[in-house]
Amino acid sequence: MKFYTEYLTFHSKSKREYFNITAEVVRVLRKSDIAEGMILVSAMHITAAIYVNDAEDGLIQDIDEWLEQIAPFRQDYRHHRTGETNGDAHLKNLLLHHQVIVPVTNGKLDLGPWQQIYYAEFDGKRPKRVLMKVMGE
């Protein structure tokens, strides 16, 4: 089995932002020269998430509004007693999770017809990293 690892760095312009990173994942997969296996895509921060869904602007807005309803920004999170102000970002991460594993078949991401890979930032305006690890033959 072979392994190949690369990192992406994000510096979002706003506190919450969504990035379609499918093309970057495809680029890393091609560079890996692995045809059969899987690729792990993992946010290396606990205030960001990786998810797979449709690349449709209205849906992205719906997801953002849904997350804000379930885990809204508030001043009274206990986590804020540490001096941080990102308690909601930690909760949003738990809802979408921090990583996905995508199958690789015949050298391509084995995604459904509408599926795309997204990086979701919930506490932005500073550098953040994403790990991409391709595993297989």
* Below-70 pLDDT ranges, the chain: none
Number of domains in the chain: 1
Mean pLDDT over the full length of the chain = 96
Instruction: Note the pLDDT tens digit of each residue in 1-10.
Output: 999 999 999 8
Q: What is the pLDDT of residue 21?
A: 98
**Domain, as residue range, for 96:** 2-136
Q: Residue 19 and residue 25: Cα distance in Å, rounded?
A: 12
Say if residues 1 and 127 touch (Cβ distance below 8 Å). no
Q: What is the pLDDT of residue 40?
A: 98
Q: What is the pLDDT of residue 26?
A: 98
**CATH number of the domain encompassing residue 107:** 2.60.120.460
Global confidence as pTM: 0.94
